[in-house]
Amino acid sequence: MPFAFSLSRLVSVAADVAPHERKAVMLAFLCNFVLLGSYYILRPVRDTVATIYGVGHLQTLFTATFVFTLLASPLYTALASRVKLTRLLPGVFTFWLVNVVLFDVLFNLAPQSRWVAAAYYVWFSVANLFMISVFWSLMVDLFSAAQATRLFAFISAGGAFGSITGPLLTRLLVRSVGLSGMLLIAAAGFALLVLIAQLLIREKDKLRRHDDEAQQSTLDHSLRGNALDGFRQLFKSPYALNQAAFMLLMTWVNTVAYFFQTDMIAQAFSAIESRTQALADIDLIVNIITAAILTFGLGRFVQRFGVTAGLLLNPLLMVIAFLGIVVSPSVFVIQVLQVVRRVAQYAIARPSREICFTVVEQSSRYKTKNVIDTVVYRFGDVSAAWVQAGMRSLGYTLDGAVAVGVGASIVWGAVATALGRQYERARLRSQVAERVRNNDYQRS
């Protein structure tokens, strides 16, 4: 009860929340908190079992991850076409809960098995994108564009706080409960997510019936179509293609930044422990700043300057950051670059990009969005890895890498601008259509 009261006060301070929206927003914040908290418990387990499989074979795991993502997305779309959304959304969290418990059993039976380690690595690398995509599909189907502009930053803050809590729990408990215990804690998180998802579904129905501003779609049905609808809708819609391009370019820019981090930290620190500490410092700073920005800043920024500005700010910051490396190519600058990049991605690009999905039809919120969030993202990983290999084989220099980063960021900025303008036009069309429906209803 004290937690609920404190969260309610935080909602009132951090976001412009109407009284009838408060319960839904608090549940969404809590859902994202538990989701990212569980995710950050499972992620160190993945990185640990990777050492069992062997670092020299990680490229095999990356390839397997992309292949299984490519297979999983149509499977999810097929389920969405046959199962009511009221059952599908809690069902996917239940499925992951069962998976985590199963891996706990397998790790206890065969703790040094390379096959079990590889299976967990690929499973988690596929599932983590689906976890986040499914959550945000529900959010864009729960809140309208106008509501999302006010509320998504605060809801994203729940995930930022979860990303701090998960690693802290791992650090505090892993020695006493072991790998198995951490998996069971994450499983408990998924059990809680099933309950929260069901409560959010009920809140959606209440908002739809009592708030004309809320999304008017329902969840008591399956989505029409077939397993390949997500891909078909993606290539059919210029708006969806721009969203995919935004995701792809963001992934490529991230890879260039990763080049700098890997090389400079390796040159600056000879001891593995020192490198780990430097990377951990970046993670901690990123998560704290992201949580602060999302809680007290971004929502007002998007309300004042618009979604287009929120999308464009990320690539603009990256151009400045890359040029900063040319002026001062040091470990401190690369750490600042990584902080700027990841804060901009998590605190600015992600919620702004999610708002863009509020103006598409319901089928696209679950099907096309899932393809972009999973398959396009993983394709970005794979293609970026080949770009990295090509740059290294050509003996790329610092100036060359900066040129690639700046060029990709400029193109990313152009895509962000086009996407933002498309969103504004789509939002205007939906507002006009809503007014027409209301007028027809009043006349009848």
407 to each of 92, 322, 402, 410, 411, how far by Cα in Å?
39, 10, 8, 5, 6
pLDDT of residue 99: 92
The pTM (predicted TM-score) of the whole model is: 0.81
pLDDT at 51 > cutoff 60? no
pLDDT of residue 323: 83
Residues with Cβ within 8 Å of residue 44, at least 6 apart in sequence: 167, 170, 174, 182
**2-436 adopts what CATH topology?**
Growth Hormone; Chain: A; (1.20.1250)
Q: Could you state, in order of their start, the residue ranges of all structural domains in the chain?
A: 2-436
pLDDT of residue 27: 94
Q: How far apart are the first and last CA of the chain?
A: 45
Lowest mean pLDDT among 31-35, 313-317, 334-338: 334-338
Residues with Cβ within 8 Å of residue 124, at least 6 apart in sequence: 42, 43, 45, 46
Residue 32 banded pLDDT, cuts 50, 70, 90: very high
% of the chain residues with pLDDT over 90: 19
- Contact call for residues 295 and 14 (beta carbons, < 8 A): yes
Tens of pLDDT, residues 205-240: 888 887 777 788 888 888 888 888 888 989 999 999
- Name the H helices within 211-349: 229-236, 238-268, 272-296, 298-305, 307-327, 331-343
Rounded to an integer, the average pLDDT of 404-417 is 90
pLDDT of residue 63: 79
pLDDT at 138 > cutoff 70? yes
Give the C-alpha separation, 203 to 86, whole Å.
Answer: 12
Residue 102 banded pLDDT, cuts 50, 70, 90: very high
Kindly report the average pLDDT of the chain as a whole number: 80
Q: Which residue has the higher pLDDT, 114 or 161?
A: 161
Tens of pLDDT, residues 252-299: 887 777 666 666 666 666 654 455 455 556 666 777 777 777 776 555
